[in-house]
Amino acid sequence: MLIWFILAAIHTQLRADEYQSLFNISDLGQQFSPVNQQALLLSNISADSSSTCRQACHANIYCWIYDYDGLTKQCRLFEGDVSTMGIISASSSPLSTVGQIQLNKELFASSGLSCSFCAKSRYLTCVNSTCQCLARTYFDGSMCRSQKLLSTQCTSETDCRNDLNLTCLSRKQCGREYSEEHSTQFNCTMSFFFSLYVLAISLQSGITVAGSSNGSSGSTSNALLSPFGIAIGRDDSLWISDAGNSRVMRVSVGSLNGTIVAGTGTSGIASTQLNFPSHLFVDNASNIYVSDTLNGRVMLWLNGSSSGFSATGATRIAGRTIGLAVDSQKNVYVAETDNHRVTKWTPNATTGIVVAGASTVGTDNQHLAYPFGLFLDELHSYLYVADYGNNRIQRFTLGGSLNGTTVAGGSGQGSNDSQLYFPQAVCVSKNTGAIYVADTYNNRVVRWSSGATKGVTLVGVPGTSATLLSGPGHVALSRNETFLYVADVNNNRIQRFELI
């Protein structure tokens, strides 16, 4: 049930609708999750009631969204609109609500007219003697809209957040222009140029989206200890294998506080416990598959369950299990690290089928050496394996030969642009086929374009600052491939980088 509120300003004018606010209020237990909190959060204040928070939003002409937590009295004011700048998602607080101002073209009917027509308007301002949209908004022909953020579609310069140095690029996407000299960093043709900088020629400093930004560890809801795996939920929430705390945490967009969704925080072998969980997979129903590494098993936690059960049909798998992938038929792919192979487990199977590796260590294209991370490209029937001990990424065709193809690294252990040093994870762009590698012992993330013999370092040298990494153990792309997430294991945090 939606509740409607009208807040009238003190002054009265003929066009009263231009300085009133009509709010649409969500049900209880909801919060606003912005796509970019740093760009959209106007203020975070304390308010004694939802009504007071609502009034604060009305008083700030840039505020179009707020959320209010009746438990903590926290009132957050945001610019932008829900349809393009975030989502309304479940909150951990039962007394949290979201309010959004209802906009219509009548509120902007004075656009382009003389300033006398918008003297008391909340939604227009006087610029060069005419009524125009507020800062960080643009006129779409009928209404003022929030300027767009990185990688969103645009049609003109005014569509994009110019205060963030974004412009409407030739591919009709908000981004930042680069001088041509940037393209010479890559041994590529100019026809490839635009796709390259979409894939992150340069990355901003990382934003800590889980854990502590200064690298400190902990076991509270806003801390991590050696986070080893990342999965992205349908609502863009982060699901994190907090390995050192033997738990899986879910962190909503825009929050640094997580919720335990698997494990208890104490290592053990019981169905409620985990022991150094590493990689994980979250399906569309928010069921969680977890590689329970030191227990040598893969566990499945159904959505909302307080305990798990074996996802492979086998109680234990010999040795450590690390890499994990699940296909649309619920077949589970497991990197049996100490057995130097990857096995496929069909539903209810008690034994796995070898799909990569030969159960003994080796360096040729049929062997693996301590495989870590997996990435499944089900559309093309490819399985990518971070072949840790061989310092390379191997690609296998499922249902075909057990011969792998080296698609990154393979030139010996090292730090030059054709080498890797104990890589632990891999993910692949569904849009371009570019391969992203957690080059763990080089403390960096490297991208290989499809078919390339050399990679490009995107981010990372040893350290704890926002641009540095220490032992990156996992990489993941956001669903729209706007962001790259990195499990910065030794810094006990998850870092997010914009792909620009």
* Residue 463: band (very low, low, confident or very high) from pLDDT cuts 50, 70, 90: low
Question: What average pLDDT does range 7-17 have in this prediction?
Answer: 31
Q: What is the pLDDT of residues 403-433, one digit of tens each?
A: 999 999 999 999 999 999 999 999 999 888 9
* Pairing relationship of beta strands 238-242 and 227-232 according to DSSP bridges: antiparallel
Q: What is the pLDDT of residues 353-379, one digit of tens each?
A: 999 999 899 999 999 999 999 999 998
The Cα 189–Cα 180 span in angstroms is: 12
* Residue 19: band (very low, low, confident or very high) from pLDDT cuts 50, 70, 90: low
The Cα 471–Cα 244 span in angstroms is: 14
How is residue 96 written in tokens?
Answer: 């949290």
How is residue 339 written in tokens?
Answer: 């057995």
> Is residue 179 over pLDDT 60?
no
pLDDT at 401: 86
Domains and CATH numbers, the chain: 45-81 (no CATH), 207-498 (2.120.10.30)
Cα-based angle 379, 382, 383 (whole degrees, multiple of 5): 125
Least Cα distance to 14 among 134, 141, 118, 87 occurs for 118
pLDDT at 277: 96
Q: What is the pLDDT of residues 258-317, one digit of tens each?
A: 999 999 999 999 999 999 999 999 998 999 999 999 999 999 999 999 999 999 877 888
